[in-house]
Structure 1
Amino acid sequence: MVGTLRTFWLALAVTVALIAVPGGAASADPKPSNGTVASGRTAGADWSVTRRGQGDTWRVKLRLPQPVVFRAALPQIAVDGRVIGVAERAADGRTISLLTSNARVVKAKKVQLAWNGAVAGAGSQNYQASARTAQAAAPVGPVLEEDPAAPGPYGVERADYDLGDTAVRLAGLRGQAVEMRAAVYLPKGAEGARPVAVFLHGMHQFCYGKTTGTPAINWPCTKGMKPVPSYLGYESPAKALASHGYAVVSISANGVNATLDESAPDAGTQARGELVLAHLDQLRQWVSDSDSQLSGRLDLSNVGLMGHSRGGEGVVTAAALNSARPSPYGIRAVLPLAPTDFARNTLPGAAMAVILPYCDGDVSDQQGQHFYDDSRYAGKDNVLRTTLTMLGANHNFFNTEWTPATSKAGSFDDWGDKKDPVCGRKAPGRLSPKQQQAVGAAYLSGFFRLNLGDEQQFLPMFDGTNGRAKSAGQAVVYTQAQQPSASRTDLASFALPKASVTTSKAASYCAGAGNPPSKDKRLLPACAKSDGWSTDFPHWVPSYFAPDVPTTSVARLKWTTKTKPRTLVSIKASSPTAREALTFRAATLSSKAGLDVTVTDRSGAKATVSVAKVSNALSPLPRLQGSAKVIMQTVRIPLTSFKGVDPGAIAQVSFARASKTGDVVLADLALDTPSSVIGGPTALPAASIGDQIVFERNKSQRVRIPVNLSRPSSVPVVVNVDTNIMYGEGRVPAKWVKVTFPAGKTKAVAEIRMRGNRKAEPLARLDMTLSAPRNAIVGDPWGILTVYDDDTA
């Protein structure tokens, strides 16, 4: 991700002289350049729509009565109730704006702030089905004999450091200086270098106190203000790990938070990754310094990263940046906690556990699910991947400094609806702050002890067998798990039709959620209906910076009482190695559904198991504001459950309807045995997109965007390029381009079509995003297409 940084806000005006091309025709458009075409006031907020040049692009500006709250999700602007794009926040904190080619803004009657596709404060609660909102039953699993968060044999000592508010400059912030500050927790008296876990907090208010006459966005904090100590909010898991012999470094990222809206092209993602590596660089110096308190005490060849909120995307980025280094640190495990995923990055090589709080009122679309979905087959590796959906948990309360009653600065419950029967403050299934922090400590401690210390007793918490920690109490946690490749035999991903998979008329393949259906013939039909952005479908929610790139594709089984035959899909199977269980991911798109799974061996013996007897994956999740989220769970059926079948000679697996009606999605059918292998930096090449400069011309033309690999690959590499962020400049329509590098090749192009016109328009800088690579990692994902107009004004 080092290199040219893209313009974050699409088509920002650049104050340079336009180049006039001889022969260009002047536009006869009667509307004045930069003229206001609509304006008004909505709920105390002033707004305007202003035309940009003579072309079909408008700036929509909204000034709110109060500053926009700092949170992980990016602010959006909705026109007449429909979100049109991500907005830029001005330095005053109250004004947001965007550029769009969506002509509906010309006739705007209302302009409002929105988050995650929903208008802020729209009051969309619907409790008509409150009888069906009861807390779901916890997956059945053993309580572990050892609790990962229980105090260990070591005392805990601190070795905090603070090098000042402007100690390091980050390329991801265009050289902006930020703080180098961290809390360090060490096992007292432990001999030798210890495994290191680095914690990175996310987007939150960065200064607190009283001041007047200063901008809302400012770093360092102005007189009368103090930095919010967000980095001190993870003390419980830090102490638990340190007491068991691990070193924990929790770093401050207030400077990134304070400057990203004005300086960062990617909402601070690259800067957060760079900040993590800058701290590791500093720690390496101290480890080598015999006079340092940290001398010889940290093992930087055995590192784990936890990132909360935007920090989750930051630590995934740090792992990718680290892998591209000549001498990378040994980053072996990454835990994104309630993360954002604005650009569809992938994480091959390192063990991963994504935590999705079901009552997340900030990243309410659970977009972090993409880290799991996109990394499953991103490259050949041998690590355990997990997603943990935690019912009753919100976004903020994992951090005590983001929790009322324990924070020094201001904080709040991000799930704002107090009366919600599932996530409201008094809902039976809602976790209290202490309960949520206990769950977080258990899973953070267990994850790093498993993946840095190879403490296999904690494997059941992450491998899909639903092991539970005593300190997590009655928390309900649903699991998705993909075992390491060495202990897994993949039978069918259900991403696309396959010769070994036979489907009935009731089975199809789908991806995404939308209405109406896409006109792009390359895309599969939508799995569910959605009027734009929806928080109900984490697997299929569009990415902020790559909204046109296809999301997770699955098999959809939809049947009624008239559906024939009873068998919906069957899969030819073979396993050269005996495995322990048959596994797949599943969820229901409607009411509770029933499926029977039949396994047949090579001798013809067969046996059937009902999914309902081993999993509640086909029961709807609790309803939030009138609808239930669709999040797949791993269904795990021990092969010993298929009585009379030879588990080492499986020949076929089939799914048949076991209820009158049903609408189910399936993914990732495999035979596996639970295991955990220590990961490490991947050796895959890095894929990067370049910039391009073109003259508009009056006719359509093909534009070739360079895409490069850092080194040749022995297998083909596939990357996805998106030519804009959700809304374009008009001349370049939203476009998804799939780019393939043949084995051994390092150069390719993404070809897009650009429309020409005879209207005089300002210089345009259009964003391009490279995302979701396969057999590669993300290098520099941001490209800029600069378009010079050839029409005189």
Structure 2
Amino acid sequence: MVGFSHLRRTGVLAAAVVLALAVTPSASAAPPAPGAPGAVARGTTAAADWSVTPVGAGSWDVELRLPSPVPLRAAQPQLAVDGTVLGVARQGADGRTLTLRTTDPRAARAGRVQLAWNGVVSGDEARTLRHAAAAPAVAAPAPTGSLLAADPATRGRFRVQRADYDLGDTALRLPGLAGQAVEQRAAVYLPAAAPGPRPVVVFLHGRHQACFGGTVEGDFGGWPCTGGSRPVPSHLGYGEAAEALASQGYAVVSISADGVNALDWGAEDGGAQARGELVLAHLDLLRSWTDGRGGKAGAALRGRLDLADVGLMGHSRGGEGVVRAALLNAERPDPYGVRAVMPLAPVDFARSTLPGTAMAVVLPYCDGDVSDQQGQHFHDDTRYAARDDVLRTSLLVMGANHNYFNSEWTPGASQAPSNDDWYLDDDPVCGPDAPGRLTPAEQRAVGTAYVSGFFRLHLGGEQQFLPLFDGTGGRAASAGRAVVHAQAQQPSSARTDLAPLEAATPTVTLPPRAEHCASAGPPVAGQPVRCAGEQRPLSSLPHWTPAWLAPSVPATPVLRARWRAGAKEPLTVAVPRGAVTGVRQALTFRAATPQARATDLVVALTDTAGRRAAVPVSRFSSALRPLPALADPWGGGGEPLAKTWLRTVRLPLDAFPGVDVGRLASVTFTPTGAGADVYLSDVALDRPASGTGPTTAALPAVSIGDVQAFEDDGTQRVSMPLTLSRRSKVPVTVEVDTAAAAVDGRVAARWRHVTIPAGSLTGRVVVPLVGDDVAGEALARLTVTLSVPRGAVVGDGFGTLSVYDDDLWDESAAG
């Protein structure tokens, strides 16, 4: 594996290393073809050939060669051995060949190897149809909350003018795409005759097939399009939202990313860097045109764009792309004014954070592509990454799938072939005929309302749309019958944190059966207690699903509190004297239950004079009622299962009469007589607010360097450097994941928590490297990933540990 950081840095190799590479193939070469000598297992499963080949002590290369290319989708393809998913596979240039290196001994005993997506073996979805067909239809939930007086999708007073541009299929070269060029084209929607420069919103579509028509075979037709095929106009699929915004005075630029989609199969990070650089390349072009440096080509944009007031929306892999664009922009000496970012049904392969920028993550409950809703990590990981003054929201849209936010990915509306990505036709919640499933037109209307409302709030300061995002339950009339659940973390100036509940603290007293937990799946030595065990499919646990490039980093620590029936021991949060400052309107926290039935808690406030008042959560929130159960789309054929997703509970302070909140002494949580099993986090006092604006550029960026080492006969400790772009007044912490390196069998540890002291520019992570005295591969390039920083953002987050086999060199020297 080649670390992504090699795109920014170059190393100098010793002469001995160069000689070794000249005589022995690199570890990055493709493994032997199925059936080749050296395979310990091989076979054919459903017309796909596969093999398992040992590569050193305790490691195997698993290869699957499919009869046709894998579909181009946001999720990463995985390989499963005998029904157990072992990890994310690397795709070959033909789209058919998938390879995976693993240390799992089950690979050596493989009886079959299959393609999988999001933990589900491909084809197993069909096995659950009989279970889904037997399940009764689930009634469509009714929307709750107050309708806003103004609707964000309402057309404004400006006529919409188009100013599209196209610089050709090979206008740009971006990192991670093997030096191949991609297009620079966009659809531009302008408010005609609007005075002065206008706020700019950039849309970036996700990973979809790049070309259609002609004689192109499958999705891997290369770029530019050949054989009479033509590019899929995915960038035209958000026209309703673009028109709504432009008519209200905003300039919208929806950019094409077909070339990235065609070429990102070889990118170490799934194309996130390339997509981020693509966004910035368009902003650079727009700046030249609005400054009058574009000649006739940019005449329509001269003086029209305010690039100090910019918003970014990214769909699918475009969601991670716009987060990366905002981070790259913050590192520039003269950054654009990126004020708000909306990842829509996004992937999050590396778990970067984006503090200091207003963010709303949109998650479709019926997403059949990114079915694990991994984009939830953007919200979870950023909550305490830095003390910032922006509103941070995550929205769960019931009845929505992955594709239908884009009309060019919707059957009956698209020019190219398209499909409903939800794959269980008879599912009682998400099947196309389920009462709660949104039609394509309804889903696009929801997208238009929330996309338009988000940017009008944060770019235009239109506070009437705040209730859509602050967790108070506001609804837009144009969103129709859609039910949208919310998590909201208010800006720091409008919030007093009482207890994040991420770890033990002296101010929190736990009942006997409560414990802090993180992640999901089987227990791992040295890591926190798991929030859910192996019996729960990861796709039902958005907060705790592992990230592809940081699978070992603990995910979303929370408190799990369990009470037996009749138990009354309280969970108590003590409030330090004088902690509550400013005007606060509600006690808030996030909550969910893993149970199939509703539960309840009683929350009490007590002040320093002993005055106490209590209310049940169910009086104000449905957070402790389970979400609708899906018909086990994860291949187990079991009982219907709801996703566990923490919702923000808001308890108005005027519901606690007589208590002096300014002199608050404690908050207690107790169950009703039936007992309870709940997840809790983020206890705070707050008031709704949109915040004062972005501060991302003020934070240092943390990067990891590349290191070269010779393998030794025993275990050695290899130090990899960490650097900050500027000094920090507070300690910076970062999670370092070596899981991608560990599958080589040479790295003993998978996760490190590293602190860079306040005032320092450097740190280091020590990686235990396990060697042997057997000649093997000449070179192994092992990837180490930075994620979830606090006090900083990720700069160059991918480091390469290049390991040269000393035993091979000894043999070459002896010869």
TM-score range, shorter chain: over 0.9
Question: Match for residue 374 of structure 1?
Answer: 381
Q: 1:765 is matched with which residue?
A: 781
* 1:744 alignment partner, one of 759, 777, 781: 759
CA shift at 1:231, angstroms? 0.2
Residue 86 of structure 1 is aligned with which of 69, 88, 97? 88
1:6/1:782 contact within 8 Å kept: no
Q: Offset of 1:129 from its aligned partner?
A: 8.9
1:190 aligns with 2:197: no
Matching residue of 1:478: 485
The answer to whether structure 1 residue 222 and structure 2 residue 229 are counterparts is no
What is the letter of the counterpart of residue 791 of structure 1? D
Question: Residues 491 and 570 (structure 1 numbering): CA distance in 2 closer, same or farther, change over 3 Å?
Answer: closer
Hey, what does 1:163 align to over in structure 2? 167
In the alignment, what sits opposite 2:748?
A: 733
Contact 1:511/1:540 (8 A) holds in 2:
yes
1:96: how far off?
1.3
The answer to whether 1:774 aligns with 2:790 is yes
Q: 1:768 to 1:448 in 2, by over 3 A?
A: same
Q: State the TM-score, normalizing by the size of structure 1.
A: 0.94
Secondary structure of 1:317's partner?
helix
Tell me which residue corresponds to 2:770.
755
**1:214 Cα offset (Å):** 9.6
| Counterpart residue type for residue 167 of structure 1 | A
Q: Does 2:45 align with 1:42? A: yes
Q: C-alpha deviations, 1:78-129, integer Å up to 9, x for none?
A: 0111111111222222221122222211110010000011101213634499
Whole-Å Cα distance in 2 between the matches of residues 724 and 33 of structure 1?
Answer: 28
Q: 2:691 — aligned with what?
A: 677
Deviation at 1:454, TM superposition (A): 0.2
CA distance in 1, matches of 2:105, 2:21: 25
Q: 1:713 and 1:699 mapped to 2: Cα distance?
A: 38
The 8 Å contact of residues 199 and 306 in structure 2, kept in 1 or not, is answered as: yes
Deviations 1:733-788 (A, max 9, x none): 35101111101101111012111112221121111100110000110011111111
- Residue 174 of structure 1 and its aligned partner are, at CA, apart by 4.5
2:5–2:797 contact (8 Å) kept in structure 1: no
- What's the counterpart of residue 805 of structure 2? 789
1:555 is displaced (CA, Å) by 1.0
Please tell me whether residue 287 in structure 1 is matched to residue 290 in structure 2: yes
Report the equivalent of 1:364.
371
CA distance in 2, matches of 1:604, 1:475: 44
Deviation per residue, 1:624-657 (Å, 9 max, x gap): 1221111000000110011222233222110000
2:208 aligns with 204
8 Å contact from structure 2 (residues 138, 434) kept in 1: no
**RCO higher in 1 or 2 (8 Å CA, sep ≥ 6)?**
1
Answer whether contact 2:4 2:799 (CA < 8 A) is retained: no
**Mapped partners of 1:215, 1:438: distance in 2:** 29
Task: Note if contact 1:57-1:100 (Cα within 8 Å) is conserved in structure 2.
Answer: yes
Say whether residues 1:541 and 2:545 are aligned partners.
yes
* Cα distance in structure 2, aligned partners of 1:670 and 1:212: 55
Question: By percentage of residues, which structure has more helix?
Answer: 2
User: 1:791 aligns to what SS in structure 2?
Assistant: helix
CA-CA distance at 1:503 after TM superposition: 1.1
Structure 2 residue runs without a partner (length 5+): 10-16, 25-34, 633-639
The correspondence of residues 102-501 of structure 1 with structure 2, limited to 5 A, is 102-123=104-125, 125=128, 126-127=131-132, 130=135, 133-138=138-143, 140-211=144-215, 216-262=220-266, 264-289=267-292, 291=295, 292-501=299-508
Structure 1 residues 215, 668: closer, same or farther in 2, change over 3 A? closer
Over 3 Å counting, the alpha-carbon distance change for 1:476 and 1:129 in structure 2 is farther
Contact in 1 for aligned 2:739/2:751 (Cα 8 Å): no
Q: Could you tell which deviates more after superposition, 689-698 or 90-99?
A: 90-99
What is the deviation of 1:677? 2.3
Q: Secondary structure at 1:704's aligned position in 2?
A: strand
SS at the partner of 1:104? helix
Q: How much does 1:534 deviate?
A: 1.0
Rounded Cα–Cα distance in structure 1 between residues aligned with 2:558 and 2:257: 38
- TM-score under structure 2 length normalisation: 0.91
Q: What CA distance in whole angstroms lies between the structure 1 residues aligned with 2:564 and 2:135?
A: 26
Shift of 1:727: 5.8
Moved more, 187-196 or 647-656: 647-656
What is the count of residue pairs matched by the alignment?
Answer: 770
CA distance, structure 2, for counterparts of residue 225 and residue 681 of structure 1: 45
- The answer to whether the 8 Å contact 1:381/1:484 transfers is yes
Match of 2:652 in 1: 638
Q: Determine the C-alpha separation between the residues in 2 that align with 1:6 and 1:416.
A: 40
State the distance in 1 between where 2:219 and 2:341 align.
36
C-alpha deviation, 1:2, in angstroms:
9.0
Contact 1:493/1:667 (CA < 8 Å) preserved in 2? yes
- Asked if structure 1 preserves the Cα contact closer than 8 Å seen for 2:5 and 2:706, the reply is no
1:778/1:489 CA distance change after superposition, 3 Å: same
Q: Percent identity?
A: 56
Are 1:581 and 2:583 matched, yes or no?
A: no
Q: Which moved more, 1:759-768 or 1:294-303?
A: 759-768
Q: 1:617 to 1:597 in 2, by over 3 A?
A: same
Q: More deviation in 210-219 or 462-471?
A: 210-219
- Please state if 1:607 is matched with 2:613: yes
**CA deviation map 1:427-468 (0-9, x unaligned):** 000000000000000000000000000000000000000100
**Which one-letter code corresponds to 1:539 in the other structure?**
H
Distance verdict in 2 for CA 1:753–1:20, change over 3 Å: farther
- Opposite residue 755 of structure 1, the aligned amino acid is V
Q: Is the 8 A contact 1:304 1:334 kept in 2?
A: yes
Q: Which amino acid aligns with 1:312?
A: G
**More displaced 10-residue stretch of structure 1: 501-510 or 205-214:** 205-214
Contact 2:773–2:807 under 8 Å retained in 1: yes
Task: Check the 8 A contact 2:358/2:458 in 1, yes or no.
Answer: yes
Find the aligned partners of 1:330 and 1:768 in 2 and give their Cα distance.
31
Closer, same or farther in 2 for the Cα pair 1:546/1:358, shift >3 Å?
Answer: same
Residue number among 649, 654, 673 corresponding to 2:663 in the alignment:
649
Q: Distance in 2 between matches of 1:704 and 1:267?
A: 27
Aligned match for 1:596, one of 583, 599, 602: 602
| Matched-pair contact (CA < 8 Å) for 2:700–2:793 | yes
Give, in angstroms, the shift of residue 57 of structure 1: 2.7
Change (3 A) 1:610 1:214: closer
User: Alignment partner of 1:760: what SS?
Assistant: coil
The 3-state SS of whatever aligns with 1:293 is: helix
1:566 is displaced (CA, Å) by 3.6
Give the residue type in structure 2 aligned to 1:635: V
Residue 724 of structure 1, CA deviation? 2.7
Going from structure 1 to structure 2, the CA distance change for 1:377 and 1:214 (only over 3 Å counts) comes to closer
Which residue matches 1:28? none
Alpha-carbon deviation of 1:133?
4.6
Offset at 1:519?
1.3
Question: Could you say what the CA RMSD is over the residues aligned between the two structures, in angstroms?
Answer: 2.2
Question: In the TM superposition, what is the alpha-carbon distance from 1:532 to its structure 2 partner?
Answer: 8.5
Offset of residue 56 of structure 1: 3.4
Aligned partners of 1:372, 1:107: CA distance in 2, in Å?
A: 40
The answer for unaligned runs of 5 or more in structure 1 is 8-13, 22-31
Contact 2:48-2:64 within 8 A present in 1 as well: yes
1:325-369 Cα distance to aligned partner (Å, 9 max, x none): 000000000000000000001011110000000000000000000
